[in-house]
Structure 1
């Protein structure tokens, strides 16, 4: 069994007292999800997440402490994949989509994001993020 590891983040911002989540429509597979990608040699999980978010969206973000969730699935019959997700908020507001991999990008409030994401694992992940953010007041950043 081949093993793969990717890292990414649920990027969120607060607007009008509502949490919005950044969603990406991946060009291959046409699914809505979050920024993520494969770990490169010499990178740790956070470095991978920061790089992938920057490559796919152009955003510089801050990874929030104490949220790390893993999602497991099999993209192919002989492959087991683990994706490590963090929570992050943007330090800039200019999005520059990576056209090679990303078909579309949108901000969606939490309830809308729960309806839009394609996979059950992503809905479960959003639920965990929602609960975490209820208990740990999100950072009121201005972007």
Structure 2
């Protein structure tokens, strides 16, 4: 029986902007390989792909970015058989007036010039011709297509299920104050760089302790005040699911990136609202079976503005590395 194939996980981003009505992207030059490529790099131990993508872009270009929708990734063989898997996102430079403060992100040192000696902006046609690896054109094609359909400039609504909590049978208090376990606390801390990667500028949470404690580390790091909503608790949801739906719809209409933290029994209502604002191809990939999201897991809904209102154009899910 052959040994399992070694897989190296990497992540990066296609950072884009529009200048003089031209869509432009950032390319980096690697002197060691004498090539032009997207900013990217290997995941650090315990690091999630979105967090690695943001870190690598800032290391190689100096640009702090906020991730948008995911783009097609690449797989190829290196070093005589190792499979390299690269995850890509569209990204924009952070600093929008409605974006979250950068205080939730640690300082990122710049890459040595022996690794990246130059980067620059290029219009997408020029960039397509400059890319050394032909495979690197695939995520660019997807980015250009999304731009042509006015589905590239998105905002993120991150739906989070609270981290692992003490079991009901082992807790002597009430449902209101049932706390996170040690693992749940680690999951909450791991959410800080992940939510920062998507630029969450609003934090909306159920009042119950296990939800509030899940998003408090991020709110504190980002200098934000969490908006505590009774309607997002399990008990209030039973009496009025429509009020939960109204909160979700409000967040979809808000131009700011946001995170909403709630409980497993509330998730079907949240997901129904996302489905109502999605095309079938997106609605069909939303979680539809219990438990919908694992404790500490998040679903990122990328929302575009359309003449008919907000439209969820892409979704992705991420688990805290501490949960594996």
Tell me the equivalent position of 1:130. Answer: 144
Tell me the equivalent position of 1:112. Answer: 126
**What is the CA distance between 1:61 and its match in structure 2?**
0.7
Compare the two structures and name the one with the higher helix fraction: 2
Distance 2:151 2:76 in 1: 31
**What is the CA distance between 1:44 and its match in structure 2?**
1.0
CA RMSD of superposed structures (Å): 1.6
For residues 1-143 of structure 1, the aligned pairs below 5 Å read 1-64=5-68, 66-91=69-94, 98-139=112-153
- Structure 1 residues without counterparts, runs of 5 or longer: none
Distance 2:150 2:47 in 1: 28
User: What is the DSSP-based 3-state SS (H/G/I as helix, E as strand, rest coil) of the residue aligned with 1:99?
Assistant: coil
Distance 2:145 2:49 in 1: 23
Aligned positions, number = 135
**Rg comparison, structure with higher value:** 2
Compare the two structures and name the one with the higher strand fraction: 1
Contact between 1:97 and 1:104, CA under 8 Å: does it hold in 2?
no
Runs of 4+ aligned residues of structure 1 deviating over 6 Å after TM superposition are: none
- Structure 2 residues without counterparts, runs of 5 or longer: 96-109, 154-324
User: What is the DSSP-based 3-state SS (H/G/I as helix, E as strand, rest coil) of the residue aligned with 2:135?
Assistant: helix
Higher relative contact order (CA closer than 8 Å, sequence separation 6+): 1
TM-score using structure 2 length? 0.40
User: What is the DSSP-based 3-state SS (H/G/I as helix, E as strand, rest coil) of the residue aligned with 1:102?
Assistant: coil
